[in-house]
Amino acid sequence: MADGTGPGRFTLSGIVLAGLIVILIVASLYFFIAQPYWFPILASEHGARIDSLFMAVLVVSGIAFVLVQGALGFFVARYGENGRERAAYWHDNPKAEAILLIITAVILTVLVFMGQRVWASIYFSDAPTDATIVEITGEQFLWNFHYAGPDGQFGRTDSKLITSTNNIGLDRDDPAAKDDIVSIGNMHAPVNKPVRVRLRSKDVIHSFFLPNFRVKQDAVPGMGIEVWFTPTKAGPFEVACAELCGLGHYRMKAALTIDESQEKFNQWLEEAAKQ
Amino acid sequence: MHESHTAEHVHHELGFVRKYIFSTDHKIIGIQYMITAMAMAVVGGLLSMLMRYQLAWPQVLSPTLAKIFPISYSGGVMAPEFYISLVTMHGTLMVFFLFTAVLTGGFGNFLIPLQIGARDMAFPFLNALSYWVFLLSCIVIFSALFVTSGAPMGGWTAYAPLSAVPSAAPGQATGMTLWITAIALFSVSGLMGGLNYITTILTMRTRGLSMMRLPLTQWSLLITAILGLLAFPVLLGAGILLMFDRLGGTSFFVPAGIIMGQVPIDHAGGHPLLWQHLFWFFGHPEVYIVVLPAMGMASDILSTFCRKPIFSYRMMVYSMVAISVLSFVVWGHHMFVSGMNPFLGSVFTLTTLLIAVPSAVKTFNWLGTMWGARIRFTAAGLFAIGFVSMFVSGGLSGIFLGTSAADIQLQDTYFVVAHFHLVMAIAPLFAAFAGLYFWFPKMFGRFMNPLLGKIHFWFTFIGAYCVFFPMHIIGVGGQMRRIYDPTQYMFLVPQQPVNVFITISAFILGAAQLIFLVNFFVSIFAGKRATERNPWHATTLEWTAPSPPGHGNFGEELPTVYRWPFDFSVPGEKEDFIPQDVPATVTARH
C-alpha cells in the first residue's frame, strides 16, 4: 500500500516527452551559451550595462528554466500510471510554498534593483554639455538629421514651411539657420564623445533604433524626446525604424557613420554643408 | 434555486433551427462560439503562413501566390502593404476572435452551468445575443480583408496617428473603419457574456457548491469575466474616440502640425500616447483574459490525468486573484520607450516583476501536482502538460521584457514576438486543445480519435517550439517585428537561415492542425460513442450529466455537492476518484 511513494511506471509517452524536454533544454543552453547568433556588435558605452543586465537576467531565468522544465521532464518520465499503485494524496505544503514564494520574490526584487540602476543611468542623467547634438525627424519612410553647424545654434523650424525640398521646414531666413546642415538618411557622429539626439516625427510614430548602440526611442508626433549615448567604436552602422509606421516601415533605414575623430566628423559636416 | 425550470422542459421538441441555430441553450451557444472561433483561426493561421513564407524568402518570385492574389502579388512578389495587413489581421483574428472567443465564449458557455450544477445561464437570451453580436463582429472583421483600398494596417494595437488618419496608409481608410467597428461589436458581445458569467457563477451554484469547492476552471472564468467587464469598456470607449477622430474631425489622439505625405492634417490638441495608455489599460488585462481560463482548464485537466489532487488549491485561487488585480497596473511595460515619463517606467518595472510572483506560484503548484502522480497520457493530458511547459518558456522571457533597461534593446523585436506567442497564444492553444479532447465526449456524445489526438500533440509540441523558440534568438539579434523584408538590413542578413528554419517549422505546425480539424469534425458524426457518462473518471459535476446533456442538463433533480473537485486517489477508497456529488462517508479532506 505504497500510495504515491512507489516510482510509477516508465511509459512510452512519458519517456518521449521527457526526451523532447531534454532536447529543448540542451538546445536552448547551446544557443544562449555558445551564442552562434547573438546581439549585434556592441558599440556604445551604456550598451555594456544593458548587455550585462541581460546576462544577469539570462542566468537567473536560465536556471529557473532548466530546473522547472527538468522537473517536468523527470515527472512525466517517472510517474506514468502503472495500474497497481495510486498517486500520492497530498495537496498542501504551506512551508514549501512560503519558501518558494519568498525566494522568487527576493530574486525578482534584486532584478528590479539591478535593472533600475541601469535604467536610471540611462534616463535620469543629463547629457554632458560637450555632446554632439542632432535633431532627428522621422517621416514616412526616412530619417532627417539636422545639425546646428559652426554657430552651434539650430535654426527655427516650422511645419508650415515644409516643402518637398525642405523636409523639416527649416526657416532659411533665420540667421541661426544659415549654417545648419540637414542630411537625409545619413547620420555622422565622432567616436568617444556623447551624442544627444532630439527626436521628432512629422506624421506617425516611428522608433529610432540603433541596434549596435542599444538605443531605441520612439519618435512621437507632437513630442520632442531626447536620448543620449556615447559611441565607442568607429565605423559604419545602421539606423532602423522599430515601430510600425506604414507600408514602407521595413525600408525606413538610414546609415550611421561613427567617425574616428572630431576632425573627420567636422570634415563631413563641411562637405554636407556644401550640398 | 430555479426549480421551476425543471426536467419536464427537457422533452419539449424544438425544430432544427430553434435547437441548433437560434438556440438559447448554453451548450449550443458554447459550441457555436467554438466552431466560429475555429473558422476565424483557420483564416488567421493561413495569413501567418503567408507571412512566414515572405519572411523566409522575401525576394523570391512566387507565381502560384500571384495567381491566387493577383493584386497583392502583382509582379510575383508580395506587396509590402499586403504584409502589414497580414500582420494586422493575423493578430486581431487570433487575439480576439480565436482566443478570447473560444476560451470564454466557447468553454465558458459550455462549462459554467454544467460545472456549477445549473440548468442554463442566468440570462439565456442575453447569452444568445452575445453570440450573434460576436458573429456579426466576425463578419465585419472578415469583410475588412476584401476592401479594395486594402485591409487594415495598424497592427492589432492600432497605434494612433497611424490608425487615426485615414491617409496614413492604404488600409487605414475603409479597412480601419471596419476594424474599429468589429472591435466595438466584439467588446459589446464580450460585455454581455461577462455579465452573464459573473451572475451565473455567483448566484446559480447548486446546493453544497461553496466558492471554495468550485473547480479551478470556474474560478478562472469568474475572474476572467470580471477582468473583461472592467477592461472591455475602456477599449470600447477608446475605439469610439478613435472613430470620432477619423470621421468626426475631433483630435483625441492626433496632435497639431502633422504632415502626411506633404499634406497638412487639420487636427490639433490630441496626444498619440493617450491611445496607447487606453489600449494597454485594456490590452494587458486582455492577456490574462486569455491566459486565466487556460490556466484554470489546464489545472483541472492536469489533476484529472495525474490522478492526484491539484497542489494547493487555495494558492491557485489566490494567485489568480492577485494576477487579475496586478494586471491592471502593469500596462506601461508596453510603453517603456514610447516617450512616456521614464519615472513611470520604473514603477511599471516593479509592478511587472511583482506579477511574476503569482505566476511562479502557479507553476510550482502544477509541478507539485505532477510530483508523485500516476499520469495517464491521453491527448488531453498531454496537452495540459504541454501547456505548463509552454507557459514556463514564455513566462520567463517576460522577465527580460519587464526589466525596463533590458527592454530598450528588445522592445518591438522578435524577442517580444516569441514571448507573447508562447505565453498567450501557444500556451492557451494547448489548454484549448486539452479542453476540446477532454470535453468532446460531453459535447457530442462521442470521442475524438485518441491516436490522432496524440499524433496531433507530438507535431504541435515539437512544431511550436521549433517556430517560437528560435524567435528569441533572432530577436536578440535585433530583428524588428512587423517588417516585410529582414534582408533589407545588413545586421539581420547573417541570421536569415534561422528565419528559413522557423518558416519550415511553421508549415509543419500549420499542417499538423489539419489532423485536429479532421479528427474534430469527423468525430462529431463518426467518433466512438461515449457510453459512460464519466469516461475519464473525473470528479466535477458535468460528468454526472448524460453525454451530451439534454436541455436542462441534469435530471429532475439538480446534483448536490459534498466535496471539493480534487478527490483523486484518496487512500482507502475503492475508486481512485470521488465525484463531487458523492456524499461524504469518510471525512472529506476539504
- Which residue, B418, B436, B414, is CA-closest to B426? B418
Identify which of A5, A11, A247 has the shortest CB distance to residue B80: A247
Question: What residues in B contact A75, CB-CB < 8 Å?
Answer: 367, 370-371, 373, 375
In tens digits, what is the pLDDT along chain B, a chain of 590 residues? Answer: 444 444 444 456 678 888 888 899 999 999 999 999 999 999 999 999 999 999 999 989 989 999 999 889 988 999 999 999 999 999 999 999 999 999 999 999 999 999 999 999 999 999 999 999 999 999 999 999 999 888 999 999 999 999 999 999 998 999 999 999 999 999 999 999 999 999 999 999 999 999 999 999 999 999 999 999 999 999 999 999 999 999 999 999 999 999 998 899 999 999 999 999 999 999 999 999 999 999 999 999 999 999 999 999 999 999 999 999 999 999 999 999 999 999 999 999 999 999 999 999 999 999 999 999 999 999 999 999 999 999 999 999 999 999 999 999 999 999 999 999 999 999 999 999 999 999 999 999 999 999 999 999 999 999 999 999 999 999 999 999 999 999 999 999 999 999 999 999 999 999 999 999 999 999 999 999 999 999 999 999 999 999 999 989 998 999 999 999 999 999 988 899 999 999 976 554 54
Q: Read off the DSSP letter of residue B177.
A: H
Tens of pLDDT, residues B149-205: 889 999 999 999 999 999 999 989 999 999 999 999 999 999 999 999 999 999 999
Instruction: State how far the Cα of B104 lies from the Cα of B118, in Å rounded to an integer.
Output: 18
With residues binned 3-state (H G I as helix, E B as strand, rest as coil), the percentages for chain A, rounded to 5, are 40, 25, 35
Q: Domain B18-255+267-544 - what CATH class?
A: mainly alpha
Q: Return the number of other C-beta atoms located less than 10 Å from residue B588's C-beta.
A: 15
Identify which of B80, B339, B465 has the shortest CB distance to residue A223: B339
Are A81 and B568 in contact (CB < 8 Å)? no
Burial classification of residue B437, based on how many CB atoms lie within 10 Å of its CB (0-12 exposed, 13-18 middle, 19 or more buried): buried
Burial classification of residue A30, based on how many CB atoms lie within 10 Å of its CB (0-12 exposed, 13-18 middle, 19 or more buried): exposed
Q: Say if residues A217 and A199 touch (Cβ distance below 8 Å).
A: yes
pLDDT, greater one: A135 or A83? A135
Interface probe with B: pick from A100, A218, A226, A257, most Cβ of B within 10 Å: A218
Instruction: State how far the Cα of A127 lies from the Cα of A134, in Å rounded to an integer.
Output: 12
Q: What are phi and psi of B551, to 5 degrees?
A: -65, 125
Instruction: State how far the Cα of B373 lies from the Cα of A72, in Å rounded to an integer.
Output: 12
Question: What residues in A contact B389, CB-CB < 8 Å?
Answer: 21, 24, 69, 72
Q: Return the number of other C-beta atoms located less than 10 Å from residue B191's C-beta.
A: 18
DSSP lists the bridge partners of residue B245 as none
Interface probe with B: pick from A108, A142, A162, most Cβ of B within 10 Å: A108
Question: Residue B101 corresponds to which cell in the numbers above?
Answer: 472567443
Instruction: State how far the Cα of B245 lies from the Cα of A203, in Å rounded to an integer.
Output: 15
Question: Residue B548 corresponds to which cell in the numbers above?
Answer: 451530451
B88 CA to centre of own chain: 17
- CA atoms within 13 Å, Cβ hemisphere of B474: 27
Q: Would you list the DSSP string of B111-153? A: HHHHHHT-SS-S-HHHHHHHHHHHHHHHHHHHHGGG-TT-S--
Are B349 and A116 in contact (CB < 8 Å)? yes
| Whole-number pLDDT of residue B161 | 95
The strands making up A186-190's β-sheet, listed across from edge to edge, are: A186-190, A254-259, A235-241, A206-210, A215-219
DSSP lists the bridge partners of residue A199 as A136, A225
Q: Residue A4 — left, alpha, or beta (φ > 0 → left; ψ -120 to 50 → alpha)?
A: left
| Whole-number pLDDT of residue A7 | 75
Model confidence at A12: pLDDT above 90? yes
Tens of pLDDT, residues A46-64: 999 999 999 999 999 999 9
* Pairing assessment for the beta strands A254-259 and A186-190 based on DSSP bridges: parallel
Interface probe with A: pick from B153, B389, B539, most Cβ of A within 10 Å: B389
Which distant-in-sequence residues (6+ apart) come within 8 Å of A69 by Cβ?
A21, A24, A25, B389, B392, B393
| Whole-number pLDDT of residue A84 | 81
Tens of pLDDT, residues A163-197: 989 999 999 999 999 999 999 999 999 999 999 99
Tens of pLDDT, residues A248-264: 999 999 999 999 999 99
Question: Residue B267 corresponds to which cell in the numbers above?
Answer: 487636427
| Whole-number pLDDT of residue B3 | 44
The letter for the amino acid at B325 is V
| Whole-number pLDDT of residue B20 | 83
DSSP lists the bridge partners of residue A139 as A142
Average pLDDT value for chain A: 94
Q: Return the number of other C-beta atoms located less than 10 Å from residue B74's C-beta.
A: 12
Are A203 and B400 in contact (CB < 8 Å)? no
Identify which of B337, B409, B576 has the shortest CB distance to residue A86: B576
Percent of chain A whose predicted confidence (pLDDT) is above 70: 98
Which distant-in-sequence residues (6+ apart) come within 8 Å of B359 by Cβ?
B319, B323, B395
Are A79 and B162 in contact (CB < 8 Å)? no
Burial classification of residue B158, based on how many CB atoms lie within 10 Å of its CB (0-12 exposed, 13-18 middle, 19 or more buried): buried
Instruction: State how far the Cα of B312 lies from the Cα of A214, in Å rounded to an integer.
Output: 43
- Check CB contact of A66 with chain B, cutoff 8 Å: no
| Whole-number pLDDT of residue A1 | 39
Are A205 and B153 in contact (CB < 8 Å)? no
Q: What residues does each domain of chain B span?
A: 18-255+267-544
Which distant-in-sequence residues (6+ apart) come within 8 Å of B435 by Cβ?
B107, B297, B301, B380
- Check CB contact of B308 with chain A, cutoff 8 Å: yes
* CB contact residues (below 8 A), chain B span 68-127, against chain A: 79-81, 83-84, 87
Nearest 10 degrees: Cα torsion B351, B354, B358, B361: 160
